[in-house]
Chains A and B, each alone.
Chain A
């Protein structure tokens, strides 16, 4: 680690001369200005229109203020202390296949429990792994290509499928949408791109593992998924970050486009480093995720969130088309000093649109866990329906659970149902388990898993198992 720090220092000092020359280093020195954006764009060999798009986003962003309405508190993030581009050293020349990938890099993935090679074979999952900012290995491309499915890094898509990227990038989350999305639009380095052609059912689950590796590097991925008419895709996103004392910023943008009759299922298991028990370190996860569902289309978000020091995240669906469907299933677990303000927005524009929200919040330690949700029925949203269920489970009495539901209805025929409960793991439940020989940690984990079952059943099988295990690990020591 210390050699890495040395290295960073050397790299930084080289940069004191300015940004006019492209240097060989892999990490830009901290700080953000138009030159940094030009360097990022140039490093990636981007076309002029994208550079202009970034610069436009940047200029717009300079006028914006960081949002402060969320139920979280943290010292201001010094955005000039962050490096906006970082690529693993050995990645200068992109490997053409997994065999060419640095074995050490692959070993890191193994430690995270995602051996690419095994995953290829066992799970039939195509993985587009993002290590810091550069996509290092994309699998199953051939099989996907056969079905006409495009699954690649967004940088690659910019070169290979510029017409699609140009058409849909920023179409769901505009570059001026919010402070963090604006920042992302200016400096995003990589992410995934998916296109499913008309009428095609994607032959496998698509999966991306994100990982923040280098210290003091913000990660700004940009993911764009376009499901053409009548197509179907299930996309899995897993996140892990190593332990660091500094706080790291993660401001991603995910855009989903479900054209008429298409269905997108997007599942996330997020266990970014949450900081230690006193709240030192951990990821600031400020993410904008949104999908647009056209006529008869369906978008389903499922998330299991156990990580990050601070989570600010509202995967949303704009139900633009008639008969479109939006779903949000969420488990958010906070412990120690974690703070989460998460939920969803269901914006009903079309007729007969339907949305379902099931949110399960679990708080332990000194953490704070808030659900924030908006259900809006537009003036055209005839017979639109929403059902919301918000359950909070408290472990111990030093944590907090909050619910902030916002409901706006501009159509008299719209139906909105909201149910909310708050409960504690009861002593009687715990005693029943212990009386049957089950130790308290296992018992708590079992009870919490049971509480989350409605959400877990929405996850693809292998993810559901992982999510269960993740909760178990996260709950270790939660019994006191």
Chain B
């Protein structure tokens, strides 16, 4: 599904990813962990196609297509979804309007049946409940005046409705209290399926108590330096990133 080969990428000209390799198959959940500045968020943004995040070497293939050749909206239409670390506000554009535009564009491109307004509204309301968001949020501007936790749940709500093939979650757990974390985890877990790949980018092991990954990778200085099963996350929790990076100060107590 996702095949990353010796990927090099730069942000505003500065090299961040330096030869990253990763394969995600359908049905798998991967966790990408690593200290601050290791390139975790860069990886997510490069895959989604953010401006100024430039692939300078290697390749990332999604469903056999090179992502470098695709505009961000084309990647989304193929079924790649990024849940943002800091979801931005779009004042005056209602969540519902936004969802309608997003779902029209992606479902059409994926040859899925288009939903009429009634169906869309019903599904959106159900999905809101699933992530403990008051359906009133559908009428509000996208993320406008939402609390940090509400923004994250709004991202998950969008993800559930859009049913992506590959979901990238960029530090979705940051800034969430334990209840919200569980809600978000429930949402992500409900999306697990044999057809779908999920990549969790996180600083902390905490999220992985609720979304148990099949694979854990440790990213440092733009490369994956260790991969393993879910137990790797526990080892990291115990020893800190310094255990792998060789930097004692880069330990588990470092704030996010």
Contact = CB atoms under 8 A, between A and B. Distances in A.
Contact of A437 (B50, B93, B102): B102
Interface stretch (B82-90, B210-218, B223-231): B82-90
A438 interface: yes
B158 interface: yes
Contact of A427 (B51, B90, B109): B51
A111 to B, nearest CB: 28
B98 A436 contact: yes
Interface residues of A, number: 23
A295 B84 CA distance: 54
Contacts of B142: 432
A447 B144 CA distance: 13
A450 interface: yes
A437 B89 CA distance: 17
A97 interface: no
Interface stretch (B22-30, B35-43, B58-66, B72-80): B72-80
A449 B92 contact: yes
Nearest to B90: A429
Contact of A450 (B71, B92, B105, B162): B92
Contacts of A440: 73
Interface in A422-459: 426-429, 431-440, 442, 446-447, 449-454
A451 to B, nearest CB: 6
B141 interface: yes
Interface string B207-248: 000000000000000000000000000000000000000000
B92 A437 contact: no
B93 A450 contact: yes
Interface in B176-229: none
Given A451-B92, A453-B92, A436 B106 contact: yes
A449 B93 contact: yes
Contact of A434 (B72, B88, B91, B162): B72
A432 B88 contact: yes
A454 B76 contact: no
B71 A434 contact: yes
- Residue among B51, B84, B88, B89 facing the most chain A CB atoms (10 A cut-off): B88
A451 B71 CA distance: 25
A426 B88 contact: yes
21 contacts: A426-B88, A428-B88, A431-B48, A431-B72, A432-B142, A433-B102, A434-B49, A434-B71, A434-B73, A434-B76, A435-B72, A436-B101, A437-B73, A437-B105, A437-B162, A438-B102, A439-B73, A442-B101, A446-B97, A447-B93, A450-B93
Closest 7 CB pairs of A and B: A450-B92, A450-B93, A436-B102, A453-B92, A437-B76, A437-B105, A437-B106
Interface of B: 48-51, 71-73, 75-77, 81-82, 84, 87-93, 97-98, 101-102, 105-106, 109, 141-142, 158, 162
